[in-house]
Amino acid sequence: MKKKTCPKSITENSKRLSCKRKRILPALVLLLLGISMASSGCAWRKEAAPITRSGFYFDTVIQITLYDSRQESLIDDCFAMAKEYEQLLSRTVPDSDISRINRSGGAPVTVSDDTIKVIEAGLAYCELSKGAFDITLGAVIDLWDVKNNPGVLPDRKELARALDTVGYEAVSIEGNEVTLTTPGAQIDLGAISKGWIADRMKEYLNSQGVTEGILNLGGNVLVLGPKSDGSAYTVGIQKPFAEDGSLLLSVDISDGTVVTSGIYQRYFELDGTIYHHIFDPDTGYPYQNGLLSVTILCPDSVDGDGLSTTCFALGLTEGLALIESLPDTEAVFITTDYEIVKSSGFPA
């Protein structure tokens, strides 16, 4: 990987027709298995097998593997953190900070320090992407409801109304108060919160003396640090749409994060078009830009998460140019022709 230093500042017609839906959970489990098996290939220690546990939080499978600790309670603590952050950041938890902001009707809402940090991280990517990444897409995301959508496109008028509420400039922060100035605007932090939470878990585990392990929050992979035996963590990058979870490539890292945004995890198909879960704030439709996925390698998972969605939104040319301009950050783009395009310092 190129040696650069990562700046902290970049933190992060109703028509019913036949459709094909894919189930997200089996694919995620396969992905997790793929990653842990890839990891085991070169990482297994003779003297102490790692401990691994999985849980399901904020609609995501979380898998935690510790290599240099036998303390299962630390994994419990990480799961408790996931639950706590879900209570603050989820749009579907009625009393979360984000839900309270979203139904405030333009009044200032006092929220926790953590919520402020995640919103600020999100806003940094809204600005970096000049609005291709936008944390106020909640109304559009709800209208599509891709996860449960049986193959129905949203009504054009309803979509236009939802689009009117989108625009991250409506989010203003003063101290711990957040105000949403556009009526009906809905904050959604789904593109950045998993990465931010992964970083907090790593911090916690490090503070407890654990320095070797892998956190996988639904494809947001973060490793705890170099292993004492010098071996690398091998992280698999899934072949888009492969139902058996097979890998297209894998990458060896000793530190940092590997985060993927793709169209194949959450989508429905209608008349040969894939309607997925990353939306263009200009049109209200999912981006159709010749990309299947973008994977980012960088030190912090909040940046990996912010950048993977940002680069997906920007498309291959602009996304790649952004990565080349950032320190200590690499990416691999997979196009709809399954062409693999890597940034210049991507590990061979």
In the complex, the residues that contact Mg ion under the rule CB under 5 A are 191, 305, 308-309
Number of residues that bind ligand ADP (CB under 6 A): 21
> Does residue 31 touch ligand ADP according to CB under 6 A?
no
Output DSSP code: residue 288: -
Selected binder of ligand ADP within 31, 124, 191, 270 (CB under 6 A):
191
Residue-wise DSSP of 66-121? ESS---HHHHHHHHHHHHHHHHHH-SSSTTSHHHHHHTSTT--EE--HHHHHHHHH
Instruction: Name which of 66 and 296 has its Cβ closer to Mg ion.
Output: 296
- Residue whose C-alpha is closest to residue 302's, from 197, 232, 226: 197
**303 vs 328, which CB is nearer to ligand ADP?**
303
CB of 231 to ligand ADP, least distance (A): 27
Token pair for residue 293? 């996925």
With CB under 5 to 8 Å by kind, the binding choice for 216 among ligand ADP, Mg ion, none is none
Please state, in angstroms and rounded to a whole number, the distance separating the CA atoms of residues 1 and 255: 11
C-alpha–C-alpha distance, residues 191 and 132, integer Å: 12
Please name the residues in contact with 285: beta carbons below 8 A apart, sequence gap of 6 or more: 275, 279
Single out the residue of 309, 314, 316, 346 in contact with ligand ADP (rule: CB under 6 A): 309
Smallest distance, Å, CB 305 to Mg ion? 4
CB of 220 to ligand ADP, least distance (A): 7
Cα 339-35-79 angle, rounded to 5 deg: 125
Q: Which does 212 bind (CB under 5 to 8 A by kind): ligand ADP, Mg ion, none?
A: none
The residue range among 15-23, 39-47, 127-135, 317-325 that interacts with ligand ADP, by the rule CB under 6 A, is: 127-135
Instruction: Decide: is 313 part of the binding site for ligand ADP (CB under 6 A).
Output: yes
**Residue closer to ligand ADP, measured from CB, 131 or 225:** 131
Which tokens hold the place of 206?
A: 């490090």
Interface stretch with ligand ADP, choices 35-43, 69-77, 158-166, 184-192 (CB under 6 A): 184-192
Secondary-structure percent of the chain, ordered helix, strand, coil, rounded to 5: 35, 25, 40
Looking at beta carbons, which residue is closest to ligand ADP? Answer: 190
- Near ligand ADP by CB under 6 A: residue from 12, 86, 97, 134: 134
User: Is residue 305 part of the contact set for ligand ADP (CB under 6 A)?
Assistant: yes
Minimal distance, residue 19 CB to Mg ion, in Å? 25
58 near ligand ADP, rule: CB under 6 A: no
Dihedral of the alpha carbons of 175, 176, 181, 182, in degrees to the nearest 10: 140
Residue 199 interacting with ligand ADP (CB under 6 A): no
CA pair distance 73, 68, nearest whole angstrom: 14
The one of Mg ion, ligand ADP, none whose footprint includes residue 194, by CB under 5 to 8 A per kind, is ligand ADP
Look at residues 131, 106, 136, 104 and name the one whose alpha carbon lies nearest to residue 119: 136
Counting beta carbons within 10 angstroms of the beta carbon of residue 156, is it exposed (0 to 12), middle (13 to 18) or buried (19 or more)?
Answer: exposed
**Contacts with ligand ADP, residue ranges (CB under 6 A):** 133-135, 137, 141, 188, 190-191, 194, 218-219, 261, 265, 277-279, 281, 305, 308-309, 313
